[in-house]
Amino acid sequence: MKFSLDAAIAATGGTPSGDAASLGSFRICTDTRELGAGDAFLALHGERFDGHAFAAEAVRRGAALLILDRADAAVAGVPALIVDDTLRAYMALASAARARFSGRTIAITGSAGKTTTKVFLAQLLSARYESRVAVAPANENNEIGVSRLLLATSDAEHDVAIVEMGARKYGDVEALVTIARPEFGILTNVGDAHLEIMGSRDRLAETKWALFGRGARAILNADDAVSVARAPQLASPPHWFAVREAGASIAPAPPATVLVGTTQLSLFETRGAGAYAVDVRVPGAHNRANLAAAVAGALELGVPVEAVVAAIAHLHLPAGRFESISLPDGWRIIYDAYNANANGTIAALDAFAAEACDRGIAVLGSMAELGDESVALHERVGAHAAKRVGTLLVGGEYADALARGARRGGLNEERIVRVGSNAEAARWLREHARPGDVVLLKGSRKYKLEQIVQELTS
């Protein structure tokens, strides 16, 4: 989406300098590598980078305007817009872009499953909207990523925008909702992520629940205790989603979208119910819950149920989520270490236990940002792992707590292996894994368990 100088000033409250009178409309760009002639370069900065250092490079690449919060970074002969803070200016410009977008906007947040739900939803929406769906790559879900997506969305190219919203600290979702103003909101769950930074589960719940603070139609997990408890606060009943095993009781109040096992989609409306045969191929109950959320979102956005049913069999998980990698020696890795919290790790272990294999081995790195509950949550995960795997490798800051929990869960000491590095874990697997084995890799991003994959596949 392009801006005039007057529109950029109105959005940011910035002060122009230099000869800006002849400027035409321009895109907002924060990366000189993506800059085109006539674009405006906005200099973001953080703890380890400062875009102001690239102002001259931006001009060499064709920037027609610099948006800065340090006037001394201006380049002679090039117009500048001086703002109080470039991140706030970037978000303000994104908010202005959102105000000009007349398509539909759906936001997704939660302690786990956000990116997977987003990827599923984008695939389902393509059945109706084809390529006219704006969605950020990977998990660009903070202030910068959400702003970048909104600034790239336009009526000329898009009918729907899917906005993933992450939260590392109290109040983050509210700030993102303020600029994105979603019409619909999917809350996947409220778990144990980032408790150290949030301060408490109540503050975590408040942060996630801010998704509905501007009136977004709520799409909620019927098995999430926080959502069930808070739903009566909503101005209108939510659209519930759930996963049930075949033969189990199906209880959510209508409207509700329920995946029953891997073969049935049940839809409940106030005027009646319908059941459809489906072919769900994604592994794990947690991923089926993400799929149910995406189906509910797609139906709310007008995708015909017949198109949804047809698309389900062809859905794929995003990279780094329960990714199966075959090794030449006849065993496999399940790489699910994009990130980890207690709920997500337990769900991954449950899905892993359903894998057909001679022997299940899990490599668990520690989980980050759990605060005072770190030890207890790692012990809980270790105890759960004891019931799901035959051998457990543990590493990271809370390896002892994982091992202690595994022993309490009944896993023999000789089946618990402490590893001091990813290289040591890869070496152990080379020496001990055999044909027919399957190995789960799960841990927080800081432990970079992808290094194990790289070591074993190189």
Instruction: CATH number of the domain at 50, please.
Output: 3.40.1390.10
272/384 same-domain check: no
175/246 same-domain check: yes
Residue where a domain terminates, one of 258, 292, 312: 312
Residue from 124, 110, 14 nearest 341 by CA: 110
In a domain, 31, yes or no: yes
228/288 same-domain check: yes
241/117 same-domain check: yes
Give the burial class of 102: count Cβ atoms within 10 A of its Cβ; 0-12 exposed, 13-18 middle, 19 or more buried: exposed
In a domain, 200, yes or no: yes
Q: What pLDDT sits at residue 340?
A: 84
In a domain, 93, yes or no: no
360/426 same-domain check: yes
Strands (E), 100-207: 104-109, 133-135, 160-164, 184-187
Q: What pLDDT sits at residue 169?
A: 85
9-50, pLDDT tens digit by residue? 999 999 998 887 779 999 999 999 999 999 999 999 988 899
Helices (H), 279-353: 285-300, 305-312, 342-353
Q: What pLDDT sits at residue 345?
A: 94
Q: What pLDDT sits at residue 193?
A: 60
305/435 same-domain check: no
In a domain, 95, yes or no: no
328/296 same-domain check: no
Contact 323, 335 (CB under 8 A): yes
This prediction has a pTM of 0.90
223/75 same-domain check: no
Cis omega (within 30 of 0) for bond into 255: yes
Q: What pLDDT sits at residue 354?
A: 92
Contact 347, 371 (CB under 8 A): no
Strands (E), 384-436: 391-394, 416-418
Q: What pLDDT sits at residue 370?
A: 84
User: What secondary structure does DSSP assign to 54-108, as a single string?
Assistant: GHHHHHHTT-SEEEES-GGG--TTS-EEE-S-HHHHHHHHHHHHHHH--SEEEEE
111/56 same-domain check: no
Residue where a domain terminates, one of 281, 312, 343: 312
Residue where a domain terminates, one of 289, 312, 335: 312
In a domain, 318, yes or no: no
Give the burial class of 156: count Cβ atoms within 10 A of its Cβ; 0-12 exposed, 13-18 middle, 19 or more buried: exposed
Question: Which residue numbers in the chain have pLDDT < 50?
Answer: none
Instruction: Please state, as a whole number, how many other Cβ atoms lie within 10 Å of the Cβ of residue 13.
Output: 12
Domain that holds residue 359: 323-457
251-302, pLDDT tens digit by residue? 688 999 999 999 999 999 988 889 999 999 999 999 999 999 999 999 999 9
Give the count of alpha carbons within 13 A of 2, CB side only: 11
What CATH number is given to the structural domain containing 337? Answer: 3.90.190.20
In a domain, 92, yes or no: no
177/260 same-domain check: yes
The one-letter code for the residue type at 122 is A
In a domain, 447, yes or no: yes
What CATH number is given to the structural domain containing 222? Answer: 3.40.1190.10
The one-letter code for the residue type at 204 is L
In a domain, 317, yes or no: no
113/222 same-domain check: yes
- How many structural domains compose the chain? 3
178/203 same-domain check: yes
Give the burial class of 303: count Cβ atoms within 10 A of its Cβ; 0-12 exposed, 13-18 middle, 19 or more buried: buried
